[in-house]
Structure 1
Amino acid sequence: MLATSALELHAVDAYYGDSHVLQGVSIRLGQGRLLGLLGRNGAGKTTCMNVTVGLLPPRRGGVLVFGEEVAKLPPEQIARRGVALVPQGRRVFRSLTVRENLVVAARKPMSGGASPWTLDTVYAMFPRLEERKVQAAAYLSGGEQQMLAIGRALMSNPRVLLMDEPSEGLAPQIVADVMATIRKLKASGLSIVLVEQNPKLVFDVADDIVILNTGRVAVAETTDKVEHGGMDLSQHLGVF
């Protein structure tokens, strides 16, 4: 096991009832790198996220966070080990204020040192959230709710950040803002998995690419090799 592996899914089989959704999926996220996870609808991208955070235990295979097996742990213990999810559809606590959404997620980093992410540092990254801190999350725009979902995940001071379709349903300018935020987080050294429907967004920011096709890994390469290696991605991604 390489010490620089922040997250590994190893030969994971996962099921919803009798439906075999992930079939021997192996994915490796290097420490401080950004992995783009692509695939058509139903390919298994969100299922990979759910397996990683403990919402769907794998039937077979392993999940390692910085070399520690976490596949049998409940979600709250996986979160304590430094894994945070920005879920598809944002799922903010609509009846709570912006500040309450952030405070409820606060957690000290595993190292026990100073927290890089606090209310102040989240507000510094998203000034709009500070302006709206006493407003109920239900009344935020879609873009503001996405900022809040990212800020809430950061408040747990994660070592691995999973982002599931962060651009979904957002206007182009807000998408550009979200991607700029992702670049800043990557530059800070955070290890990130970015799930997206839009390949162009992913290729612009990712170090590595994994493409799922009907529950299996079809491509696992560096972004440069995928972009310039002459691969025909249309069979895995449709129109591209």
Structure 2
Amino acid sequence: MLATDALALAGVDAYYGDSWILQGVSFRLGEGRLLGLLGRNGAGKTTCMNVAVGLLPPRRGSVRVFGDETSRLAPEQIALRGVALVPQGRRVFRSLSVRENLVVAARKPVGGGAAAWSLDTVYAMFPRLDERKHQMAAHLSGGEQQMLAIGRALMSNPRVLLMDEPSEGLAPQIVADVMATVRKLKESGLSIVLVEQNPKLVFDVADDIVILDTGRVAVAATTAEVEHGVDLGQHLGVF
């Protein structure tokens, strides 16, 4: 764990019941960097996210957030240390309005200070949410629900943002909008882990790449090193 690591997994083993999903997984997210986490379906990407936010405690190994051990903390305690998740499938609160979805997640930044994210700043990032703030989340389009899921995570004023398949099921133009948002968040200095099936989306924005293969880290390198020296067909089934 380096002083500039925003998030670090070290030797993590994780199980669902008797199924050994993560096998000695280690990777580091540098402060202010974007790490792309790639792998085939079932490789363990979402499990890594669940471990990082405390939804699945590791059987072995450690998780640290800015140097603090978090692997035995409850999800709400990890959230208070500045970790937020944009979950796969969006999982907005469908019976609440857009505004209520955002307000329920509001939290002050770790260490106090001025909040970078509020209703006003989220609405500025996503004007469509401002237009629909009184609408029930269940009635939003898929793209709008993804905007809301990202906005809800930002309302917690995180230091580390974990994004699990944010482009899943979205039309190409909406995917482009979501990735433009990811780029803006990276430029703001947020430390981000981006889980994606589409490596091209990740290579466009990531500083570093980790590729999982059946629960193990197969590749951990900078994006440039992966693009020029890794056989993606071997690990991802793409060329």
TM-score bracket, normalised by the shorter chain, equals over 0.9
Residue aligning to 1:209: 209
Task: State the Cα distance separating 1:2 from its structure 2 match.
Answer: 1.6
Percent identical among aligned pairs is 85
Q: Distance in 1 between matches of 2:231 and 2:166?
A: 26
Equivalences for residues 106-185 of structure 1 within 5 A: 106-185=106-185
1:236 and 2:235 correspond: yes
Residue aligning to 2:91: 91
What amino acid does structure 1 have at the position aligned with 2:186?
A: K
Q: Distance in 1 between matches of 2:31 and 2:102?
A: 26
SS at match of 1:32: coil
Q: Distance in 1 between matches of 2:225 and 2:72?
A: 35
RMSD over equivalenced CA pairs, Å: 0.5
Runs of 4+ in 1 over 6 A off after TM superposition: none
Residue aligning to 2:49: 49
Q: Distance in 2 between matches of 1:226 and 1:235?
A: 13
1:74 and 2:74 correspond: yes
CA offsets per residue over residues 95-121 of structure 1, 9 Å max, x none?
000000000000000120010000000
Residue aligning to 2:61: 61
Q: Distance in 1 between matches of 2:44 and 2:68?
A: 23
Q: Distance in 1 between matches of 2:133 and 2:3?
A: 40
* TM-score normalised by L of structure 1: 0.99
How many equivalent residue pairs? Answer: 239
Gaps of 5+ in 2: none
Task: State the Cα distance separating 1:129 from its structure 2 match.
Answer: 0.1
SS at match of 1:112: coil
Task: State the Cα distance separating 1:228 from its structure 2 match.
Answer: 1.5
Q: Distance in 1 between matches of 2:57 and 2:3?
A: 24
Residue aligning to 1:100: 100
Gaps of 5+ in 1: none
Q: Distance in 2 between matches of 1:111 and 1:120?
A: 21
Residue aligning to 2:7: 7
Task: State the Cα distance separating 1:239 from its structure 2 match.
Answer: 2.1
CA offsets per residue over residues 193-235 of structure 1, 9 Å max, x none?
0000000000110000000000000000000011112x21111
Residue aligning to 2:227: 227
Residue aligning to 1:188: 188
Q: Distance in 1 between matches of 2:238 and 2:102?
A: 38
